Chain A
């Protein structure tokens, strides 16, 4: 089967982030970058399906030149080829504009299945995949933990709230957004890294105007502290002694 996996490159977890002087986004200098975690699981799900059913895994990624490193990571793990939508300032576009970019970039593809992570770790709007399905006119299922392909249909296990789950059947082609942690992530092998260098990365220019927007992020700022956190300092033993005192006299847990 033909599978397209949409991935996004985001600042590495635990990066120290600083607001850029213009106040509209973070300062991207000196950040390290990685594949958005849920997208890494979407890629893993695609590679597992390919191993079982055969076919091809195509990575789709939008962003500036730096995203090449994430595309190479995905190819080294086993994706067959990639489409790179070259554009700057994704953070200034709304979801609809980004989904339009992605939809246009895969107009020449005929995927049976499109996978994406359920949300990005940076903007966290959690809807690029779902909106992409709408633009392509195909059914979708979101927050999925397991996939079974059987002929022309797909059966997926959706996560609901409070520990509930539900299996849903969808006709193909379909789009599925993947929850983090659904399987172990593989590492790229040395052979994989070598092979990745010979795989095709097709670069496409943003195929449509990206200036239309329905919502605009116009300022980022530090959250106001709702609570005054009392910081406890000192060597571990001293900090522990202070915590015990707090647990006893203030929290009354001892």
Chain B
């Protein structure tokens, strides 16, 4: 076994952003292990972006035109058996979460999922919603499968592959594809574009009840910010889904992200950790949100938020009256 194989994911005509980050991680690992860097993706050989790789594989089969876990697993299993890499790195996307655990199991391996860093034979991942980190070692005899967390590595410039892109055609029979996927769809047009808004006030579980949402909405209004939320708030229907920030919602990078009663589960943090300034108000001083916060208030949001809203209104009033 030799080589670090990066499996990339296309998104429409382009590439998933996380594919670039995975390529960076794969390059670092290849240099560290002094092994060749390889990459692969399902689809056309044209426009293959992987920069300085030793070999690139365009995996092609008509049964792969629509994503199915059965199809992707069969295709990548055959590629990996032919290429024989020591490591297989994948972006930790929803698609990878669907097929990669099964792919690894075919080799008697366990996917080390959602990795944030590596070094010295260990892969670091987060436990308990980000409260702890854990070092994992690969102890199996097959390839080591690793998926890379969004935002953990910098995406480099995606340049055309500096080698011939080899077409790999796996053997797949129609009867081997057991699931029937329908066309993907969006629930409703997005009317709130959190991605381009400069100020966001976001609310989480700490708000406790729907009746309390206006406390935070009032703060957002006073500040002239958009109101956003973590997943549980939208799941409960307290705010519409389109206001959700996180891996299953929108990814934002505003000038200010003011997190109220948000503990900071990994799925939320990946959606907002690119914010320029983060202020967190939370009663639990060990909450992972403080890991990414520039400013923190450890306290009761039901006392701090109304006080802050009042202070902002007062300041704005003074600014208008002196203008």
* Assembled-state Cα–Cα distance A233/B198 (Å): 26
Interface contact A243-B279, CB-CB below 8 Å: yes
- For residue A247, CB closer than 8 A to chain B, the reply is yes
- For residue B55, CB closer than 8 A to chain A, the reply is no
Per a CB cutoff under 8 Å, which of B130, B288, B297 touches A243? B297
Contact residues of A between 1 and 54, Cβ < 8 Å to B: 11, 13-14, 16-17, 19, 26
Interface contact B132-A220, CB-CB below 8 Å: yes
Task: Point out the residues of chain A lying under 8 angstroms from B296, CB to CB.
Answer: 229-232
Interface contact A166-B277, CB-CB below 8 Å: no
Interface contact B102-A126, CB-CB below 8 Å: no
Contact residues of A between 35 and 80, Cβ < 8 Å to B: none
Tally of chain A residues near chain B (CB < 8 A): 80
Tally of chain B residues near chain A (CB < 8 A): 99
**With contact pairs A159-B248, A166-B184, A221-B133 given, residues A134 and B311 touching in the complex (Cβ less than 8 Å):** no
B106 closest partner in A (C-beta): A134
Interface contact B295-A11, CB-CB below 8 Å: no
- For residue B303, CB closer than 8 A to chain A, the reply is yes
Interface contact A215-B138, CB-CB below 8 Å: yes
Contact residues of B between 158 and 200, Cβ < 8 Å to A: 178-187, 190, 198-199
* Assembled-state Cα–Cα distance A216/B304 (Å): 44
- For residue B62, CB closer than 8 A to chain A, the reply is no
- For residue A187, CB closer than 8 A to chain B, the reply is no
Per a CB cutoff under 8 Å, which of A17, A94, A220, A254 touches B133? A220
**With contact pairs A124-B114, A239-B304 given, residues A248 and B315 touching in the complex (Cβ less than 8 Å):** yes
- For residue A122, CB closer than 8 A to chain B, the reply is yes
Interface contact B108-A143, CB-CB below 8 Å: no
Interface contact A17-B315, CB-CB below 8 Å: no
- Per DSSP, chain B at the interface is mixed
Task: Point out the residues of chain A lying under 8 angstroms from B277, CB to CB.
Answer: 250-251, 253
- For residue B128, CB closer than 8 A to chain A, the reply is yes
Interface contact B184-A160, CB-CB below 8 Å: yes
- For residue A127, CB closer than 8 A to chain B, the reply is yes
Query: Residue among B106, B181, B288 with the most chain A CB within 10 A?
Result: B181
Interface contact A130-B307, CB-CB below 8 Å: no
- For residue A89, CB closer than 8 A to chain B, the reply is no
* Assembled-state Cα–Cα distance A240/B298 (Å): 12
Query: Residue among A160, A179, A214 with the most chain B CB within 10 A?
Result: A214
A165 closest partner in B (C-beta): B185
Interface contact B102-A163, CB-CB below 8 Å: no
- Tell me how far the C-beta of A95 lies from the nearest C-beta in chain B, rounded to whole angstroms: 5
Task: Point out the residues of chain B lying under 8 angstroms from A125, CB to CB.
Answer: 110-111, 113-114
* Assembled-state Cα–Cα distance A243/B312 (Å): 9
Per a CB cutoff under 8 Å, which of B101, B109, B181, B298 touches A130? B101
- Tell me how far the C-beta of B243 lies from the nearest C-beta in chain A, rounded to whole angstroms: 11
Interface contact B126-A223, CB-CB below 8 Å: yes
Interface contact B110-A96, CB-CB below 8 Å: yes
- Tell me how far the C-beta of A126 lies from the nearest C-beta in chain B, rounded to whole angstroms: 6
Task: Point out the residues of chain A lying under 8 angstroms from B304, CB to CB.
Answer: 236, 239-240
Interface contact A164-B127, CB-CB below 8 Å: no
* Assembled-state Cα–Cα distance A109/B125 (Å): 35
**With contact pairs A131-B105, A133-B102 given, residues A161 and B110 touching in the complex (Cβ less than 8 Å):** no
Interface contact A122-B186, CB-CB below 8 Å: no
**With contact pairs A181-B235, A214-B139 given, residues A223 and B181 touching in the complex (Cβ less than 8 Å):** no
- Tell me how far the C-beta of A227 lies from the nearest C-beta in chain B, rounded to whole angstroms: 6
- For residue B31, CB closer than 8 A to chain A, the reply is no
Per-position 1/0 for B66-106, Cβ under 8 A of A: 00011000000000000000000000011101101110111
* Assembled-state Cα–Cα distance A205/B312 (Å): 61
- Tell me how far the C-beta of B234 lies from the nearest C-beta in chain A, rounded to whole angstroms: 8
Task: Point out the residues of chain B lying under 8 angstroms from A143, CB to CB.
Answer: 94, 97-98
Task: Point out the residues of chain B lying under 8 angstroms from A167, CB to CB.
Answer: 181-182
With contacts A127-B111, A236-B306, A251-B277 known, what are 8 further pairs, Cβ within 8 A? A118-B97, A165-B185, A168-B179, A170-B178, A170-B179, A218-B122, A221-B132, A239-B307
3 tightest A-B CB contacts, nearest first: A181-B235, A214-B140, A127-B101
Binding site for A on B (CB under 8 A): 69-70, 93-95, 97-98, 100-102, 104-106, 108-114, 122, 125-140, 142, 144, 178-187, 190, 198-199, 223, 225, 231-232, 234-236, 241-242, 247-250, 255-256, 263, 266, 276-280, 284, 286, 288, 290-300, 303-304, 306-308, 310-312, 315-316, 319
A-B contact pairs, 10 of them (CB 8 A): A13-B129, A14-B263, A17-B128, A163-B186, A167-B182, A180-B231, A214-B108, A217-B134, A218-B135, A254-B223
